[in-house]
Amino acid sequence: MLPYGQRISFAGRAMLCEKNMGDERVIDLVGRIDRALARIEAAATSPAPSPASLGDGPADDGRAAALEAAHRALRARIESAISQIDRLIASGETG
């Protein structure tokens, strides 16, 4: 048992379980998840950008509108991909 307040990373857990699992892909995946969580935690604790850096000022030059359009296009592609994944899963469950 770890002392209160300490935690073991996913990669650490994976190393502890390596003898039992024997699947390097799972170990690699757990490491990737651990690194992604570290990036999320770093972003969550970093200060929010100032409104001026987001393109709300006079020096915007249309960048905010371009960013919004790119966001909408990316969102549509993600929604389409998720729908396709849902259809594949559904067809696998019935097939």
Q: Determine the Cα–Cα distance for residues 72 and 89; give it in Å rounded to an integer.
A: 26
Q: Considering the domain boundaries, does residue 55 fall inside one?
A: no
Convert the pLDDT of each residue in 55-93 to its tens digit: 555 556 788 888 999 999 999 999 999 999 988 888 887
Task: Please write the tens of the pLDDT for every residue from 37-47.
Answer: 888 888 888 88
Instruction: Note the pTM of the prediction, 2 decimals.
Output: 0.37
Q: Which domain holds residue 88?
A: 62-95
Flag whether 45 is in a domain: yes
Number of domains in the chain: 2
B/e letters for 38-56, b = 16+ CB within 10 Å, e = fewer, are eeeeeeeeeeeeeeeeebe
45 lies in the same domain as 88: no
